[in-house]
Amino acid sequence: MTGPGRNVPDLTEAGAVLAAEAARFASFGWMRGTSGNLSVVTSREPLRLAVTASGLDKGELTAADVVLVDGDGRAVRGGRPSAEAALHARVARLTGAGAVVHVHTVASVAMGRRRPAGIVLRDLEMLKGLGQPADGPPVVLPVIANSQDMKVLGDRLVAGREPRMPAVVVAGHGLYVWGGGPREARHRTEIVEWLLELELTDPGGCTR
C-alpha cells in the first residue's frame, strides 16, 4: 500500500493505516480538536481514496473511521468524509501522490502570514528529505490563499504549486503535504514542519 500505483481493496486496512498516522500527528499537537485529515489512494482506475471521517478526534480514530471517496471527493462507501476530501482527490490526480496529509500547525499558519509570497528555503540538510540537494538552488514552499470552496482552493493549488516541493501552505489554515504512500507523506510532513519551525525561531535563517 505504500506505492502510488498499488490497489488497497480492503478499506479497513486503509483505515487502520490512517488511524495510526493520525494518532502520530495528533500526538505532536498538529491535529488538535477534530482538525486535519488524511487520505490514501486505494485505486487509480477509477480513482478512489480512503479519507478520514469528518468531525472525529484524530488521536482516537479506529480502522472503521474512514470513508471511501471517488475522484471528486464524493463518498462511495462509509460515512461523511472530510469537507476537504475533494482537494485530497485533486492533489492525487495532479501529482500522482498515493497519500495526502493535511495538518493544522502553528508554524505553517504563522509562516503563511509572514511570507505570503512563499517561503524560500536553501542550504539545509533537511531539504534532502524532500528530494532537493542541501546546497542547491533555493526552493520555494508556496503559500496560497484559503477558500471554503474546494474547487477554488484546488485551482489556487494548481496555479501556485512548486513541482519540486511536495507541499503547500494554505494561509490562515494549515499545511498540505503528499507522497507516494503514507510513510513518505508522513516523513515529508515532518520535514516541512521542521523547516517551518526553524524559520520561525531563526527568521531569515533559511535565506541567508
Give φ, ψ of 81 to 5 degrees.
Answer: -75, 170
Q: Is 145 exposed, middle or buried (0-12, 13-18, 19+ CB in 10 A)?
A: middle
Q: Can you list the alpha helix ranges (DSSP code H) found in 8-75?
A: 11-27
Q: What is the CATH number of the domain that holds 79?
A: 3.40.225.10
Look at the chain and report how many structural domains it folds into.
Answer: 1
Grid coordinates of 154: 484546488
Whole-number Å distance between alpha carbons of 180 and 135? 25
Domain of residue 112 covers 11-201
148-187 pLDDT tens trace: 999 999 999 999 999 999 999 999 999 999 999 999 999 9
- For residue 72, tell me if it sits in a domain: yes
- For residue 5, tell me if it sits in a domain: no
- For residue 4, tell me if it sits in a domain: no
pTM of the predicted protein model: 0.92
Whole-number Å distance between alpha carbons of 191 and 202? 16
Mean predicted lDDT score pLDDT of the chain? 92
41's CB contacts (< 8 A; 6+ apart) are 4, 8, 47, 48, 49, 92, 97, 98, 99
- CA atoms 100, 118, 104, 20: torsion sign: positive
- For residue 179, tell me if it sits in a domain: yes
50-106 pLDDT tens trace: 999 999 999 999 999 999 999 999 999 877 887 799 999 999 999 999 999 999 999
- For residue 112, tell me if it sits in a domain: yes
Residue 97 DSSP SS3: coil
- For residue 206, tell me if it sits in a domain: no
- For residue 1, tell me if it sits in a domain: no
